[in-house]
Amino acid sequence: MKVAVLGPVTKDFVEIDGNLSYQIGGIPYYVAEALKALEVEKIVPYVTCGLEDNQWVKNSFTGLEVKCIKAEKTLESHIKYSSNKPDERKHYIKSYSNTIKPKEKLLKELEDFDYVILGPLFHDNIPYELFKKLKHKNLVLGNFGMFTYGEDGKFVRKNPEKMIEILPFIKYLFLDKNEAEFVSGKIAINDIAQFFQNKGLDNIIITEGSKGSHLFISKNYYKISSFKPHKIIDTTGAGDTYLAAFIRAQELFNNPEEQGKFAAMVATMSLEEKGAFNKNLKEVLIRLKS
């Protein structure tokens, strides 16, 4: 399996229970590191960042060839939460222009990959034209970026039609339930999924944190329970890790239910240590059997 991961990286300042740390973040980082740990054959992150941060970004990815795309400045994120309530976060963001343009050189390189994972944090990170030009590929879209704007240091959701218009180009879409409710205007899980599939999307995965996840794969539905972590150290990037593990599972299991369970276990294990997921494939499979 060969996977490209596109999107901005961030400078993350994370405060958990009053303890502050500084690290690299962003969807491409957490996804790529998880794919590497899970022994994917080839992973190339194509990331936007400020020119002054190129070397720091490349050094932060372990053993991966990183393609840095020049941006106005690297995005900066401030996250604060309690380990007792990991689903409740305060988030402050400094946003700058970080657009990945559909240049011919990039498009040609992306032809070599089996999956192209797109991880925008803001509405202008991945333009419509890039989705359209890559519609023949296995495109995977994670999170809320297509309908998110940075205003006064906050994530503001608006213009959900930006996501809706690219749905026919996507193979797998990952959203948490609140995000899916915002885009669809629906509340019930089945109604949400029906909305997206009526707009041209075949497969949607809706996550609910500790409540598990919902897989709508073509006309089939699978409810995936979450696993209880031994302890919670850091929840940052757990959703991105779930996405990465689910894509990895396409090579490991034929059954979407097994793929979902694998992804759920990897996401759970990612909570138990700080930073990106770094356990190996064997450890995950052993834990699944325990």
How many whole angstroms separate alpha carbon 65 and alpha carbon 82? Answer: 35
Residue segments in the chain with a per-residue pLDDT below the cut of 70: 87
Split into its structural domains, the chain has a count of 1
Amino acid sitting at position 62? T
* C-alpha distance from residue 162 to each of 56, 123, 184, 192 (Å): 32, 8, 12, 17
Dihedral sign of CA atoms 72, 74, 80, 83 in order: positive
Q: What is the pLDDT of residue 47?
A: 98
> What pLDDT does residue 251 have?
96
**Taking the CB of residue 176, how many other CB atoms lie within 10 A of it?**
17
Phi–psi pair at 272, nearest 5 degrees: -90, -5
Closest CA to 119 of 42, 32, 186, 213: 32
- Interatomic CA distance for residues 241 and 263, integer angstroms: 8
Per-residue pLDDT at 88? 78
Query: Can you tell me the distance from the alpha carbon of 213 to that of 142, in angstroms, rounded to the nearest whole number?
Result: 14
CATH number at residue 93: 3.40.1190.20
Q: Which tokens go with 104? A: 């011919």
User: Tens of pLDDT along 45-97?
Assistant: 999 999 999 999 999 998 999 999 999 999 998 888 887 877 677 878 888 99
Give residue 159's identity as a one-letter amino acid code.
N
Please give the pLDDT value at position 3.
98
Domain that holds residue 248: 2-289
* pLDDT, position 83: 77
